[in-house]
Chain A
Amino acid sequence: VSDPRDNVQQEFLVEAQELVEALSRDLLLLDEAHHRDERIEPALINEIFRSVHTLKGIAGMFGYQHVGAVAHALEDLLDDLRLGRIIVGQQLLDVLFDSVERFQHLLSRDDPQSTADDGSVQAFIAAIRNVGPEPQSEVGDPLDKYAIEAEVLAVLTEYEEHRLRACIREGLLLYRLRASFELAAIDDSIERLRVDAEDDAEIITYLPSMEGGNEDTIELVVLLASRVPEPELRAQFESRYGVIDPIAERTHLPTLPPQPTSIPAPAKTVRPSSDDESIQPSIRSVADSVRVDIRKLDHLMNVVGELALVRSAVTRVVDHLQGKSVSRQSMMDLDRIGRTFERQLSELRTGILDVRMVPLGQVFNKLARIVRQAAREHDKQVRLVVTGADTEVDKLIVEELTDPLMHLVRNAIDHGLETPRERDRTGKPPEGTLALNAYHKGSNVVIEVEDDGEGMNVFKLRDTAVSRGLLGADVSQELTRQELLNLVFLPGLTTSERVTDLSGRGVGMDVVKTNILRMGGMISIASEEDIGTKITITLPITLAIIRALIVTVAGRTFALPITAVREAIPYVRREVKTIQGREVISLRRETLALCDLARLFGFRDAPRDGGFVVVGAMGNRELGFVVDELHGQEDVIIKSLGQSLSSVRGFAGATDIGDQKVALVLDAPALFTEYFESPEVLRTLESRA
Chain B
Amino acid sequence: VAFHALIVDDSSAVRAFVRASLEERGFARVEEAETGFEALRLLASNAFDIVIVDVNMPDINGLELLAFMKKSPRQQAARRILISTEVGKLGTQRGMELGADAFLRKPFDVDELRALVLGLLSGTQEATR
Residue numbers of A with Cβ under 8 A of B are: 4-5, 7-8, 11-12, 14-16, 50, 53-54, 56-62, 68, 75-76, 79, 151, 154-158, 160-161, 183-184, 186-187, 190, 205-210, 213, 215-216, 218, 283, 285-287, 291
State the main secondary structure of chain B at its contact with A.
Answer: helix
Contact indicator B63/A60 (Cβ below 8 Å)? no
Residues 44 to 60 of chain B near chain A (Cβ within 8 Å): 44-45, 55-56, 58-60
> Looking at A53, A57, A151, A285, which has the most chain B CB atoms within 10 Å of its CB?
A57
**Residues of A close to B64: CB separation below 8 A:** 155, 205-208
- Separation of A62 and B13 alpha carbons in the complex (Å): 9
24 contacts between A and B (CB under 8 A): A4-B20, A7-B16, A8-B16, A12-B16, A15-B12, A53-B56, A53-B87, A57-B85, A57-B106, A60-B107, A61-B14, A62-B13, A62-B17, A154-B98, A155-B66, A155-B67, A157-B55, A157-B56, A161-B90, A186-B41, A206-B36, A208-B40, A285-B35, A287-B34
**A207 in contact with B67 given A50-B58, A157-B55 (CB within 8 Å):** yes
The 8 closest A-B pairs by CB, nearest first: A60-B107, A57-B106, A61-B107, A155-B63, A210-B71, A208-B68, A11-B16, A15-B13
B51 → chain A closest CB, angstroms: 14
- Separation of A161 and B87 alpha carbons in the complex (Å): 14
- Separation of A205 and B45 alpha carbons in the complex (Å): 24
Closest A residue by C-beta to B68: A208
**Residues of A close to B90: CB separation below 8 A:** 157-158, 161
Contact indicator B40/A186 (Cβ below 8 Å)? yes
- Which residue of B38, B44, B63 is within 8 Å of A215 (Cβ)? B44
- Separation of A216 and B10 alpha carbons in the complex (Å): 23
**B123 contacts the other chain (Cβ, under 8 Å)?**
no
**A183 in contact with B88 given A155-B61, A208-B60 (CB within 8 Å):** no
- Separation of A207 and B72 alpha carbons in the complex (Å): 14
**Residues of A close to B56: CB separation below 8 A:** 50, 53, 157
Contact indicator A208/B16 (Cβ below 8 Å)? no
**A155 in contact with B94 given A206-B36, A287-B34 (CB within 8 Å):** yes
Contact indicator A285/B38 (Cβ below 8 Å)? yes
**Residues of B close to A154: CB separation below 8 A:** 63, 67, 94, 97-98
Contact indicator B61/A8 (Cβ below 8 Å)? no
Contact indicator A61/B108 (Cβ below 8 Å)? yes
Contact indicator A218/B44 (Cβ below 8 Å)? yes
Contact indicator A205/B61 (Cβ below 8 Å)? yes
- Separation of A186 and B67 alpha carbons in the complex (Å): 19
**Residues of B close to A8: CB separation below 8 A:** 13, 16-17, 20
- Which residue of B11, B20, B40, B98 is within 8 Å of A155 (Cβ)? B98
Interface residue range, chain B: 35 or more
Closest B residue by C-beta to A64: B107
**B37 contacts the other chain (Cβ, under 8 Å)?**
yes
> Looking at A156, A184, A215, which has the most chain B CB atoms within 10 Å of its CB?
A156
**Residues of B close to A160: CB separation below 8 A:** 61
**Residues of A close to B97: CB separation below 8 A:** 154
- Separation of A209 and B65 alpha carbons in the complex (Å): 10
Closest B residue by C-beta to A213: B44
- Separation of A7 and B17 alpha carbons in the complex (Å): 10
- Separation of A33 and B16 alpha carbons in the complex (Å): 36
B107 → chain A closest CB, angstroms: 3
- Separation of A210 and B41 alpha carbons in the complex (Å): 13
B29 → chain A closest CB, angstroms: 15
**A208 in contact with B36 given A57-B107, A59-B107 (CB within 8 Å):** yes
Contact indicator A157/B63 (Cβ below 8 Å)? yes
**B101 contacts the other chain (Cβ, under 8 Å)?**
no
Contact indicator B38/A68 (Cβ below 8 Å)? no
- Which residue of B60, B71, B72, B91 is within 8 Å of A158 (Cβ)? B91
**Residues of A close to B20: CB separation below 8 A:** 4-5, 7-8
**A54 in contact with B11 given A75-B87, A155-B63, A183-B41 (CB within 8 Å):** yes
**Residues of B close to A59: CB separation below 8 A:** 107
Besides A7-B20, A157-B56, A187-B37, 9 new A-B residue pairs in contact (Cβ under 8 A), listed by A number: A12-B16, A53-B85, A58-B11, A61-B17, A62-B13, A155-B64, A157-B63, A158-B88, A161-B90
A421 → chain B closest CB, angstroms: 46
- Separation of A61 and B106 alpha carbons in the complex (Å): 7
A159 → chain B closest CB, angstroms: 8
**Residues of A close to B108: CB separation below 8 A:** 61
Contact indicator B38/A286 (Cβ below 8 Å)? yes
Closest B residue by C-beta to A78: B87
Contact indicator B106/A157 (Cβ below 8 Å)? no
**Residues of A close to B12: CB separation below 8 A:** 11, 15, 291
- Separation of A634 and B54 alpha carbons in the complex (Å): 53
B79-114 toward A: CB 8 Å interface, digit per residue (1/0)? Answer: 000000101111100100110000000111100000
- Separation of A16 and B12 alpha carbons in the complex (Å): 10
Closest B residue by C-beta to A60: B107
**Residues of A close to B59: CB separation below 8 A:** 190, 205-206
- Separation of A11 and B9 alpha carbons in the complex (Å): 14
- Separation of A213 and B85 alpha carbons in the complex (Å): 32
> Looking at B24, B63, B71, which has the most chain A CB atoms within 10 Å of its CB?
B63
B13 → chain A closest CB, angstroms: 4
- Separation of A76 and B88 alpha carbons in the complex (Å): 11
> Looking at A56, A155, A160, A285, which has the most chain B CB atoms within 10 Å of its CB?
A155
**Residues of A close to B67: CB separation below 8 A:** 151, 154-155, 207-208
Contact indicator B13/A12 (Cβ below 8 Å)? yes
- Separation of A420 and B37 alpha carbons in the complex (Å): 52
B126 → chain A closest CB, angstroms: 28
Contact indicator B40/A183 (Cβ below 8 Å)? yes
**Residues of A close to B85: CB separation below 8 A:** 53, 56-57
Closest A residue by C-beta to B62: A157
- Separation of A61 and B112 alpha carbons in the complex (Å): 11
**Residues of A close to B65: CB separation below 8 A:** 208
- Separation of A283 and B37 alpha carbons in the complex (Å): 11
**Residues of A close to B14: CB separation below 8 A:** 57-58, 61
- Separation of A215 and B44 alpha carbons in the complex (Å): 5
- Which residue of B11, B94, B107 is within 8 Å of A68 (Cβ)? B107
- Which residue of A53, A54, A62, A156 is within 8 Å of B63 (Cβ)? A156
B129 → chain A closest CB, angstroms: 29
Closest B residue by C-beta to A161: B90
- Separation of A433 and B64 alpha carbons in the complex (Å): 49
**Residues of B close to A58: CB separation below 8 A:** 11, 13-14, 17, 106-107
**Residues of B close to A11: CB separation below 8 A:** 12-13, 16-17
A279 → chain B closest CB, angstroms: 15
**A157 in contact with B60 given A15-B11, A285-B34, A285-B38 (CB within 8 Å):** no
**Residues of B close to A210: CB separation below 8 A:** 68, 71-72
- Separation of A286 and B36 alpha carbons in the complex (Å): 10
- Which residue of A16, A190, A215 is within 8 Å of B37 (Cβ)? A190
- Separation of A54 and B13 alpha carbons in the complex (Å): 10
**Residues of B close to A12: CB separation below 8 A:** 13, 16-17
Closest A residue by C-beta to B15: A11
Closest B residue by C-beta to A5: B20
- Which residue of B16, B36, B55, B106 is within 8 Å of A60 (Cβ)? B106
